[in-house]
Amino acid sequence: MTTDASLDVVGIGNALVDVISHETDEFIAAHGLVKSAMTLIETDRAEELYAAMGVAIETSGGSVANTAAGVASFGGRTAYLGRVYDDQLGAVFAHDMKAQGVHFVNPPVHDGPPTGRSLIVVTPDAHRTMNTYLGASAFFCPDDVDAEIIRSAQVTILEGYLFDRPESQDAYWTASKYASDAGRRVALTLSDLFCVERHRDGFLPLVRERVDILFANEAEACALWGCDEVGAAVERARAEVAVACITLSEKGSVVVSGAETHEVPAHPVDVVDTTGAGDLYAAGFLYGYTAGLPLPRCGELGSLAAAEVISHIGARPEISLASLLDG
């Protein structure tokens, strides 16, 4: 790891505002939602679903944006690249990044669709079901990638979710080349099972050629490599990337790197809303990783950050994660 970096982590992903309501499983069924997954929706469907949803709260979201906010909450130096429109939700997103201490690089755009949002339904079992209208965020393209920012960060983290348009895929290849050429690390989170199934052919070469640190849950890892069971996927991950973190929900995670294998327990907590669990796991891990901590400790920080975020509504930490480090 080069140590002259002025940033610890820079994230690239969908810049979204979360719109969160509590609904029953009957609501999930009645509206044909895919429970616990992220489904992309267009304008009409977004309006229809929003109209059906109950009283909501709005908070800034976006998977890797949450990760960047989490790293900043631990005290890491972070930046974020993503697209918002020049509207009220875009201003909310930009405000919250800045307020969290994340340098939000891209100014709002003035053409195209409005700022994206994720309509998130939380059921009584604390699972979140996401229906995302990407809006402006989907139009992230290579021109939006700030080479100097990428080069200045120890790790650039990419999210699978931002892989739906060719320009965004190009942006990932562009950004990861800037990072690799500068001797930096590239991380990728696979985001969602259906996302992996949509983009397996695009993810595989990116993982093989550019990704140093991979985050995935069991189902995503198995889907990426066509494995029937997680053990096989872990071994594929070990062979393909320098570090892989396979998250196992309440069973914690397994971190593999070369010959090393570390089983990391989850941090026990009363689960209120699982939104952001994976994002904050990545935040804790990368904070530790860029601080030069041993891999088992990085995993523990991932568990700690994930536990905080699932203990309340919303996908960003409510307390300073740095304050948890003292304990």
Q: Which residues of the shown chain bind its own copies in the complex (CB under 8 A)? A: 21, 50-51, 53-60, 69, 87-89, 92, 95-96, 98-100, 114-115, 314, 316
Instruction: Kindly state the smallest distance separating residue 113's Cβ from its own copies, in Å.
Output: 13
Instruction: Kindly state the smallest distance separating residue 92's Cβ from its own copies, in Å.
Output: 6
Q: Closer CB to its own copies, residue 89 or residue 243?
A: 89
Joined tokens for residue 151: 């080069």
Q: Closer CB to its own copies, residue 100 or residue 154?
A: 100
Instruction: Kindly state the smallest distance separating residue 8's Cβ from its own copies, in Å.
Output: 19
Q: Closer CB to its own copies, residue 69 or residue 195?
A: 69
Q: Closer CB to its own copies, residue 210 or residue 316?
A: 316
Instruction: Kindly state the smallest distance separating residue 315's Cβ from its own copies, in Å.
Output: 11
Instruction: Kindly state the smallest distance separating residue 195's Cβ from its own copies, in Å.
Output: 26
Terminal CA-to-CA distance of the chain, rounded, Å? 28
Q: Closer CB to its own copies, residue 80 or residue 172?
A: 80
In three state form, how does the secondary structure of the chain look?
CCCCCCEEEEEECCCEEEEEEECCHHHHHHCCCCCCCEEECCHHHHHHHHHHCCCCEEEECCHHHHHHHHHHHHCCCEEEECCCECCHHHHHHHHHHHHHCEEECCCCECCCCCEEEEEEEECCCCCEEEEEEEEHHHHCCHHHCCHHHHHCEEEEEEEHHHHCCHHHHHHHHHHHHHHHHCCCEEEEECCCHHHHHHHHHHHHHHHHHHCCEEEEEHHHHHHHHCCCCHHHHHHHHHHHCCEEEEECHHHCEEEEECCEEEEECCCCCCCCCCCCHHHHHHHHHHHHHHCCCCHHHHHHHHHHHHHHHHCCCCCCCCCCCHHHHCC
Q: Closer CB to its own copies, residue 74 or residue 172?
A: 74
Instruction: Kindly state the smallest distance separating residue 307's Cβ from its own copies, in Å.
Output: 19
Q: Closer CB to its own copies, residue 72 or residue 254?
A: 72
Neighbour tally for 95: CB within 10 Å: 12
Instruction: Kindly state the smallest distance separating residue 259's Cβ from its own copies, in Å.
Output: 41
Instruction: Kindly state the smallest distance separating residue 277's Cβ from its own copies, in Å.
Output: 18
Distance CA 145, CA 165 (A): 15
Q: Closer CB to its own copies, residue 19 or residue 179?
A: 19
